[in-house]
Chains A and B, each alone.
Chain A
Amino acid sequence: MTNEALKIKLPELIPSVVFEEGGEWITAFVDASAWKTIAQQLRSNEDFQFDYLFCVTCVDWKTHLTMVYHLTSTIYRHSLVIKAKLDRNNPEIETVSDIWRTAEFHEREAYDLFGVKFLHHPDLRRLLLTDDFDGYPLRKDFEDPINMIKL
């Protein structure tokens, strides 16, 4: 499906979606609380069938955090970007690791580096940093005067 067709079909599935302009793929904002049901529909709906989640990112926008999911379909070859805004002091969102198994590791990494809690994740632990690391390094307000030597 082309971008225009996706833009028409998506609000039929998710009434509360808000589109963002720019970029080569359709970018849609969804509510963090409704993410799980939307993800299930995106995966199983006949017209969409987004079965390949290829990038899960978190971006720190100083006032809030945003989770960014890049999806594509191996059958129809269309792509979609879903974003969800999270509260900075208590970032929580439902996990999608039972829909797309690749999200297990990606969500562990987002928890490790940003502190986003994924509800009902099978195994949410630190992945890349030491187990007793203090803080979430990729946040913009992370300070480590001992290790980080500023140029």
Chain B
Amino acid sequence: MYRETQIIKHAQKASSNGGNLEEAGDLVINVGPQHPSTHGVLHLVITLHGETIKNVEPHLGYIHRSIEKMCESLSYRQFIYVTSRMDYLSSHINNHGCAMCVEKGLQVEIPPRAKVIRVLMDELTRLASHQLWWGAMAMDVGALTPFFHAFREREMINDIMEETCGARLTMNYMVPGGVMYDIHPNFQKRVKEFIEEFKKKIDEYDELVTGNIIFQNRMKGVGYLTKEDAISYGCTGPTARGSGVSCDIRKLYPYEVYDQVQFNEIIETDGDCFARYLVRMQEMRQSLSMVEQLIDNIPEGDFQAKTKAVLKLPKGEFYSKIETARGEFGVYIVSEGGTTPYRIKFRSPGFSNLSALNHMAKGYKIGDLVAIMGTLDLVIPDIDR
């Protein structure tokens, strides 16, 4: 960890920076770990020449809670809820991915009602996550008002979740086999009210921020990521879709009822910050239309398939992918036949998205770095696990 600001006094070849020549007059500064716009505890060591960035080196581990080691001593029903705390903005979707992996191992079939409820909860969570992203991104770039607008709408989703699942942020609602309990009788009415309200508000979001000339000047032409680089760096989600990579797991490997719901995969080809911003804004509209299609068509039936109380997965390896608000979340379980997993690996989307930061930020200014990090939509506990 760098303990003080360094001013490079004489030119030296830095071997640890991949061969970057450090000229005289370069400045090495720390951004974070405690910083208002790093979205968590991220420590960046930036080499600057004046205000131009020459190298960004992320230092991780400030929220490494050893989740993978801990899960080796938790049962298959217990470890699902720890993943709520990893990417806490798409906690339903993380839980869903883990439950899908366990179901793959148990080879259990989920009832249709549970499938539709799961997809509804996923899309509402995606909406809530994108709302918070929008508010926080605008706050980073300098506009404070959208933050309050975003949280006002997010509270409506939180209230809906609280009525059905019991919690506002870390809703432990998915179980292997279905969902934990049936939806509340008020659920459909409240979701319909929310849809009506949010349709007007999302146009307000576009009016407030997207068309703003200052915002556009800060976003356009900044942080280019080409399509080949996006694939090579392993970027997924809106980060890669803003560069033209078609990687939506809901379309490529459909799960639950995504093959029966009408929605578009949003792809922009520019590759700069504004393209990634537009991808997320349009994804919010697509999620809203998906919720509208499904809310009236929840089939009757069980909400949970019958499974044993103590789950034992057969010997083998299982991998399942799911599309969170940030990208592809993968759960890889290696099982030796016992009641606890032998090894679990969580392939988090932020880990790969962050590795492209250095490449994207070279040559731009410090203010652009904040805009680039905003469009990457990083949640650091997701990266550190």
Interface residues of A, Cβ cutoff 8 Å to B: 22-25, 27, 51-55, 57, 59-60, 68, 70, 74, 77, 100-102, 104-106, 109, 113, 122-123, 125-131, 137-138, 150-151
Contacts and interface: CB of A to CB of B under 8 A. Distances in A.
A53 to B, nearest CB: 6
Contact of B69 (A27, A106, A137): A137
Contacts of A54: 234, 236, 328, 330, 347, 352
A51 B247 CA distance: 13
A24 B236 CA distance: 22
B229 interface: yes
A129 B330 contact: no
B345 interface: yes
Given A54-B234, A57-B332, A105 B345 contact: no
Interface string B238-254: 00000001110000100
A53 B235 CA distance: 10
A137 B65 CA distance: 12
A130 B1 CA distance: 9
Nearest to B18: A122
Contacts of A70: 319, 330, 332
A71 B334 CA distance: 18
Contact of A55 (B18, B232, B330): B330
Interface string B329-355: 010101000000011010100011011
Nearest to B62: A128
28 contacts: A22-B317, A27-B317, A52-B231, A52-B234, A54-B328, A55-B330, A55-B332, A55-B345, A55-B347, A57-B343, A57-B345, A59-B343, A74-B245, A74-B246, A77-B252, A102-B232, A102-B352, A102-B355, A113-B68, A123-B16, A123-B18, A127-B60, A128-B60, A128-B64, A129-B64, A131-B1, A137-B69, A151-B73
A138 B69 contact: yes
Contact of A130 (B61, B345, B359): B61
A125 B57 CA distance: 12
B222 to A, nearest CB: 21
A100 B343 contact: no
Contacts of B351: 105-106, 109
The DSSP consensus for interface residues of chain A is loop
B316 interface: yes
B255 to A, nearest CB: 13
Nearest to A21: B316
A102 B234 contact: yes
A25 B232 CA distance: 21
B233 interface: yes
B186 interface: no
B87 interface: no
Nearest to A20: B317
B66 interface: yes
B384 interface: yes
Contacts of A100: 232, 234
Nearest to B334: A59
Given A54-B347, A129-B61, A151-B73, A74 B247 contact: yes
Contact of B355 (A51, A101, A137, A151): A101
Contacts of A130: 61
B235 to A, nearest CB: 8
Interface in B302-345: 316-319, 328, 330, 332, 334, 342-343, 345
